[in-house]
Amino acid sequence: MLDLRAKINELERELTILQEELQKTKENLKETHHKLIGREKSLVKISEKFSSAKKNLDSVSENKLNTDIELTRLKPELEELKTKLTEANGTISKLESELKFTTEKASEMEQTLKFKEKAIENHKDDLERRKKEIDKINEVVKLNQKETDELIEKIKTLEAKLSEIKATPKVLKRIKEMMLIKGFLSDRELDKIYAEFD
């Protein structure tokens, strides 16, 4: 569960990093676009200078040469900007694809997490139900233990009474013997006979 939450947090961090990189790429693209517009303005100015130079025949050759040099210098930069723009578009497409994949993965993991949370909730309900059943069983066990203890006490009482009953014929026989000998029994002698069979 904790491992799953950590993975989700990691994916969210990666998603944030990707979004920041995408934003930086867009800003670079915007800056490149502004530079390109600036270059285009420079070309317009050069064209204006070239048109103006035509009015002066003496400076035509020099202005044309300067214009050719500027155009030659700007062409590689323009090609480089086009290449960077193509690369930026490729990076944006890649980042968008990765963002889509990450979003789908996060959604999938969220569904998995919800499923596991539901399973845990079901386990909790099952444990609670089993705990109640165990509590009921414990109550029955306690009740049975109490009944068992009562039965043991009754058995002990009955055994004591049974022991007394078994001793009674011997006591009577001894009393008869003493009566035959003496003709009577004192309380002290009777207690002594009872003591013999305790």
> Residue 19 domain-assigned?
yes
Structural domain of 109: 2-118
pTM of structure: 0.32
- List pLDDT tens digits, range 17-46: 998 999 999 999 998 988 888 888 887 887
- List pLDDT tens digits, range 97-151: 888 888 888 888 889 888 888 888 888 888 888 888 888 888 887 887 887 788 7
> Residue 12 domain-assigned?
yes
Q: How far apart are CA 73 and CA 48, in angstroms?
A: 18
- Residue 123, helix vs strand vs coil: helix
> Residue 9 domain-assigned?
yes
Q: How far apart are CA 116 and CA 107, in angstroms?
A: 14
> Residue 64 domain-assigned?
yes
Residue 109 C-beta-side C-alpha neighbours within 13 Å: 18
> Residue 110 domain-assigned?
yes
Pair 60, 54: CB distance under 8 Å:
yes
Domain count, the chain: 1
